[in-house]
Amino acid sequence: MSAGATSDLPPEAYGVALASMPSMGPARLRSLLAADPPARAWERANESTGASERDVARVWHRQTSLGIRVLLAGQPSYPARLVDDPQAPPILFCLGDPAALADAPTVALVGTRAPTRYGIGVAAQFGADLAAAGVSVVSGLALGIDGAAHEGACGAGAPPIAVVAGGLDHVYPRRHERLWERVAASGVIASESPAGVPTEKWRFPVRNRLLAALSDVVVVVESRHHGGSRYTVDAAMERGVPVGAVPGSIRSATSEGTNALLADGAFPACSAGDILIALALEGAAVTAPDTPRRRPPSRGPVPTDGEDGLVYEALSADPVPLDELVRLTGLDLAGVCGGLERLAQAGLARDAGGWWAKD
C-alpha cells in the first residue's frame, strides 16, 4: 500500500472505488482483482490518475449511506452459489438481506417486457406458488414477466431475489419503485454495479448470466423468438441449469420463443408442480408438488392495508374481471394479479374462469 494509504478503509472500499472507475466493465474488474488484493489493484489502476484515499472514502461512504451491502469474492459473506462460477462478479452490491441468496432453492422466472394477460397471470401465479412452497423467485425487476413474477412472490413465502443491471441508487424502470421497495424489504436486490453507475443497455445481457448463476432452475414464461430471455437461457445451459418453458398459443408472437424452447428440449412448465419436480431432480429440498395450490387448512387474516388490502376490498361475492379490479384499485395488472394470487394462497379469493371473487 502506498504511503498515502490508511488502514481505516476495508478492502471492500477499494473494490468499490475500482468498480466505480469510468469504463470499468465486469471482465476487466475481474481480471484486476484476480491479480492483486483490492487496495493494490486500485493503486495500480490509478497510478497515473492522481486519485487519492479521499476519493476511495467518498465512494465508500456513498454506498454505506444508501444502505448498500458490499460482498467481496473470497469473503464468507459472498454467495456460495457464485464461488465456482467462471464469470462470477468479484464484487456484489445488495439492498436487503444478502442471506436470501443462500437460504432457499431458487427459480428464475423470466420473459418478455410486453406480455399478454395470460403471461402476466401465469408469472404471478408461479411466483406466488413457488414462494409458498419455500422457493425463492429470481428475476430482473423489469417490466412485464419479471415484475409480475415478483408481484406474486412478495409476501407469499420465501424471500424474492432480484438482479438488476445498474447501480442500486437508481430504480429502473421508475414504474417499479414500489416493487423495488417490497423486494428489498422481504428479500434482496443484487447488482454488480456500484451506486452511481447508470442502467446502460449493454449491462442487461451481461446481468442475465447472474440470473442463471443464482438459480437452480430457469423458466421462461413468455418470450418472442429472439427475445432477451435467450441470454438467460444460454447462460443457464452453459452452467447445466435446467430450463423450462410455459407452452403458449401458436398464434401468439409472445409464445414463439417458449414454444421453440420446448421443441429444443426444455421441460414444459404447466404448473408450479412441474417446476418443483425439476427442482427435486436437481436435489433441492422442496415441498410436495401438489402443495402450492392446495387450499390452506384455515383462512388467513383479511388484509386491511397495502396492495392486498386494496385488491381484497375490490372483490365481492360475485366474480369480477381483471380489468375492473385494475380500475377499482388503481394498481397495474401485474400488481392486481400478484395480490390475487397471495389472497388465493390465504383462502381469501378464488379464480372463476379468469374472473375473481372473495372466497
For the cut 80, the answer to whether the pLDDT of residue 183 exceeds it is yes
By mean pLDDT, which of 140-154, 165-179, 200-214, 283-297 is the weakest? 283-297
Average pLDDT over residues 29-35: 86
The alpha-helical segments, DSSP class H, found in 187-255 are 203-213, 229-238
- Per-residue pLDDT, 4: 42
Instruction: Look at 62 and 52; give whichever has higher pLDDT.
Output: 62
Helix axes 26-35, 38-45, angle to 10 degrees: 120
Say whether pLDDT at 341 is over 90.
Answer: no
Instruction: Provide the mean pLDDT of the chain.
Output: 86
Distances (CA, A) of 228 to 11, 111, 142, 204, 294: 35, 8, 11, 9, 34
| Beta carbons of 27 and 203 less than 8 angstroms apart | no
- pLDDT value at 209 more than 60: yes
**CA–CA dist 218, 110 (Å, integer):** 8
pLDDT of res. 50: 65
DSSP annotation string for 131-145: HHTT-EEEE---TTH
* Residue scoring higher pLDDT (98 or 328): 98
CA–CA dist 249, 236 (Å, integer): 25
Mean pLDDT value across residues 169-178: 87
pTM of this structure: 0.83
Check whether 237 has a pLDDT greater than 90.
yes
Asked whether the beta carbons of 51 and 39 are under 8 A apart, the reply is no
- Nine cell digits for residue 344: 388465493
Q: What is the pLDDT of residues 109-148, one digit of tens each?
A: 999 988 998 999 899 999 989 998 999 999 999 889 999 9
Q: How confident is the model at residue 188 (pLDDT cuts 50, 70, 90)?
A: very high
Using an 8 Å Cβ cutoff, are 191 and 164 in contact?
A: yes
Give, in order, the Cα–Cα distances in Å from 134 to each of 156, 278, 292: 9, 14, 10
